[in-house]
Structure 1
Amino acid sequence: MITRAGWGLAAASVLVYAAGAPFGYAQVAVLAAAGLAAVGAGALWTLRGAGLEVRREVAPVKVARGEPAVAVLHLRNTGRWRRSGLVARDTCRDTTVSVEVPSLARHTARTVSYRLPTRRRGETPVGPLLLERTDPFGLSRRSIAYGRADMLLVRPRTVPLASLNSGRRRNVDGLASRSAPAGASSFKGLREYVIGDDLRHVHWRSTARTGVLMVKELTDVNLPSTVTVLDTRTSAYEGDDEFELAVDVVASAACAVTRDRFPVRVFTGAGELVHAKGAPGEDEEVLDRLAVVERSDAAESPLHALRRAGSGGALVLVSGTFAALADAAAVRRRFDQVLFVRVGEPSEGGVPQAAGVTVIEAGDLEELAAAWPR
């Protein structure tokens, strides 16, 4: 393809010839012919086969919002001539990333890496990759597509938080357990050993003191459970930044629970998004699901989601408006602990309060971590 510079040179050559030819200037004809010849030579230069092997890798394929993600190009010159003037252009959502490729001698390979934009959360197609080749004078350009688009998943950011203490019956040992089966048992008392008891439950101090083999008697307790609700109504937020922060808050609250192997349910204005039951690795599923959540004019209010959330445990409701505080207050008696988080700039009228509801105002994740109950 002829570039703007090439078309400009061709037009100038024609004008020069048209202006000088009637006066019989031979030099004008030479200059015009040279200009047109340069444009033609540039076109022939770029029409020549590229003779390149190109492979791209995206690492990592899942990344938190704002964290670095890199594309790595592996290029090899399989032709007989040195390749130069190459520019790689990759498309990442609405952003085009350009990187110059070093000159490649025959039968040599190079690796080029470049950063990908990760400011926006969601499934981000990377590519297709275009390799542009220009002639030495920039008069002609040729673009060749290599491979297909790769997928980069930009997930919410998280900050470490403590699991909320909830459950109808508290474990006297606290929330130290990191597995659901162990977390479902609590110490009740001591009794004498009987044949068939698990020797791992022997209480050696009492056995040494009494001279009788004593074992710990355990009883089942309710696992601390959490319900998180994300307000996805478009009208609840002033802009995209506030909504992204709200998703980060929900991700942080939910992952604090799943990483301790306790159950959590995540709701949005479209219904239940994910129900983690305390199995290992479920925090990854929570982040993957939250990565693709979007605002919607058709989203239901948080109160509709809370009607399907059951009762018991802790509730975390996140919104960009204090108007949703009334929804949290309306169901406070159904939960052991209710937490309302309003994201965005500090309100001028102060932070409203509601009986039985802990209210937090967070302008970023650091403020959330500082105000989070411990």
Structure 2
Amino acid sequence: MAAPVAADAGVDERGTLRAAFGGLTTRGRSFVAAGLAAALCAYALGQPDLLRVGVLLAALPVLCVLVLHRTRSRVVTARRLTPDRVAAGGEARVHLRVENVGRLPSGLLLLQDRVPYVLGPRPRFVLDRIEPGGRREVTYRVRSELRGRYPLGPLELRLTDPFGMAELSRSFGASDTMTVLPHVEPLPYVRLGGNADGAGDGVRRGLVAVGEDDVIPRDYRHGDDLRRVHWRSTAHHGALMVRREEQPRRAQCTVLLDTRRTAYLGAGPDTAFERAVSGAASVVRHLAAQGYETRLLTGAGQLVPGPATEAREPAERIGLVMDVLAGAEPEDERPPETVEAVLRSAGGGLVVAFTGVLDDGQCAAFARLRPGRGTAVVFVIGGQRAPEAEAAQVAALRGAGWTALLLPPGVPLGQVWQQAAAEQAGQTGQTGQAGRRHG
């Protein structure tokens, strides 16, 4: 989606004329010095013609400064980013518009937009004079292989006169933000546990209406049957309300991302933390496409979407989650009770976790995060310790009831995801057989 266009009149840096004269170029200063020298010689020698030449030489740079000093406040700019959210490795276009709102034509314009080095070199453009009321548009591309939020701007503008006597600068305060989303891996469509009470595939459950007080009304929409109008609620709300005969119950999933700084080693695009973030983003996208009501829980106890944004549309909710993942960074360790309390308040359903290195104490604390009911899967990001230590961590989590799997470097998440579904299906089959034998 394209970012809105916003005009920016810029920061007025005209200041005093004394400051404006600081923009004289070497040529302009030379003309002033030559003009003053010619005027002094004309006075000493009594040559009026030489005085006229001196005045002309000195007046030309002064006139150029005065014109630029006035016209640089008559230029406005606007920036438009399309799109403002791209996946890692994707490309966005930045459109710059420069407009002359003054009554005089502008001189030569030099544009430079500030962008982070990871998006590429700073774009520079040279624009010829702009007539009064005219505008010019330029476009450049930005691209990043690393997720994150990157500021674009402010735009810097330099004006020069046709004679090269003066050069004045101006900075525009408006800036935009380009969001680079984490890399998302395609996952196979397999069933990963669940039931009808919000931990499964999501089913529509009818509302049991015992009387008028049990009816849950909603706003009237075009096309609704008028026989479903609930007149008592209509009179109470002052707007037409209809009976809601059934309510969709979506399956719930909480994706837990371990953001502890001590859980991941190294820095850069191929680190364990980046693989964990990419895995969380992949699961969020995949389960949302399957109809799950997906939420993200970070190691700091941040739940996204929160209570204030739960009523938004599914696409908006997923957008909020992806924005948080785009800016996720390793954090200091927090008490596990904080995450445990938030996880319990999030309700039941499927829990998918991504974690890094856990010592014995941290592993025991993480094991307690497993919900009492529903499916719980944890992916341990491998390649950070000896294979024996990673295997012991996976075994400890399995012993606590998690479906724990190691995600080694270079192994696609889809492969391990399918393995988790197979193990979960085997555990469900064994539980069913045990129940039948007991019966």
For residues 34 and 115 of structure 1, do their structure 2 counterparts lie closer, same or farther at Cα, with a shift above 3 Å needed? farther
Letter of the structure 2 residue corresponding to residue 268 of structure 1:
T
| 3-state SS of 1:358 partner | strand
Q: What's the offset of the Cα at 1:113?
A: 1.0
Letter of the structure 2 residue corresponding to residue 264 of structure 1:
T
Query: Is the counterpart of residue 102 in structure 1 residue 139 in structure 2?
Result: no
Letter of the structure 1 residue corresponding to residue 108 of structure 2:
G
Q: Where does 1:240-259 land on structure 2 (aligned, <5 Å)? A: 241=269, 242=271, 243-259=273-289
CA contact under 8 A between 2:194 and 2:350: conserved in structure 1?
no
Q: Where does 1:1-374 land on structure 2 (aligned, <5 Å)? A: 6=25, 43-44=65-66, 46-50=68-72, 51-78=74-101, 83-92=106-115, 97-106=122-131, 108-116=134-142, 118=144, 121-135=147-161, 140-146=166-172, 148-162=174-188, 165-169=191-195, 180-182=202-204, 225-237=252-264, 238-239=266-267, 241=269, 242=271, 243-275=273-305, 280-281=314-315, 282-297=317-332, 299-300=333-334, 305-306=339-340, 308-310=342-344, 313-321=349-357, 323=359, 329=367, 334=372, 336-342=375-381, 346-347=383-384, 349-350=386-387, 352-353=390-391, 354-355=394-395, 356=398, 357-362=404-409, 367-373=412-418
Task: Give CA deviations for 1:87-135 in whole Å, capped at 9, x if unaligned.
Answer: 2233346888332143245254322112346556455443333322134
For residues 35 and 244 of structure 1, do their structure 2 counterparts lie closer, same or farther at Cα, with a shift above 3 Å needed? farther
Letter of the structure 2 residue corresponding to residue 250 of structure 1:
A
Partner of 1:194: none
- Count of matched residue positions in the alignment of Structure 1 and Structure 2: 318
TM-score computed with the length of structure 1 as normaliser: 0.64
| 3-state SS of 2:418 partner | coil
For residues 361 and 4 of structure 1, do their structure 2 counterparts lie closer, same or farther at Cα, with a shift above 3 Å needed? farther
CA contact under 8 A between 1:128 and 1:147: conserved in structure 2?
yes
For residues 168 and 127 of structure 1, do their structure 2 counterparts lie closer, same or farther at Cα, with a shift above 3 Å needed? closer
Q: Which runs of 5+ in 2 are unaligned?
A: 1-19, 38-53, 207-248, 399-403, 420-439
CA contact under 8 A between 2:255 and 2:353: conserved in structure 1?
yes
Q: What's the offset of the Cα at 1:232?
A: 1.7
Greater mean alpha carbon deviation, residues 348-357 or residues 256-265: 348-357
CA contact under 8 A between 2:25 and 2:166: conserved in structure 1?
yes
In 2: Cα distance, 1:93 partner to 1:99 partner: 14
In 2: Cα distance, 1:244 partner to 1:85 partner: 45
| 3-state SS of 2:386 partner | coil
CA contact under 8 A between 2:349 and 2:375: conserved in structure 1?
yes
For residues 74 and 367 of structure 1, do their structure 2 counterparts lie closer, same or farther at Cα, with a shift above 3 Å needed? same
In 1: Cα distance, 2:60 partner to 2:358 partner: 68
Q: Superposition RMSD on alpha carbons, in Å? A: 4.8
| 3-state SS of 2:319 partner | helix
For residues 274 and 369 of structure 1, do their structure 2 counterparts lie closer, same or farther at Cα, with a shift above 3 Å needed? same
CA contact under 8 A between 1:317 and 1:340: conserved in structure 2?
yes
For residues 57 and 325 of structure 1, do their structure 2 counterparts lie closer, same or farther at Cα, with a shift above 3 Å needed? same
For residues 278 and 87 of structure 1, do their structure 2 counterparts lie closer, same or farther at Cα, with a shift above 3 Å needed? closer
| 3-state SS of 1:49 partner | helix
Partner of 2:434: none
Greater mean alpha carbon deviation, residues 56-65 or residues 119-128: 119-128
For residues 161 and 136 of structure 1, do their structure 2 counterparts lie closer, same or farther at Cα, with a shift above 3 Å needed? farther
CA contact under 8 A between 1:131 and 1:145: conserved in structure 2?
yes
In 1: Cα distance, 2:23 partner to 2:313 partner: 60
Q: What's the offset of the Cα at 1:163?
A: 6.0
CA contact under 8 A between 2:183 and 2:281: conserved in structure 1?
yes
In 2: Cα distance, 1:307 partner to 1:162 partner: 32
Q: When you count helix as a share of all residues, which structure comes out higher?
A: 2
Letter of the structure 2 residue corresponding to residue 349 of structure 1:
A
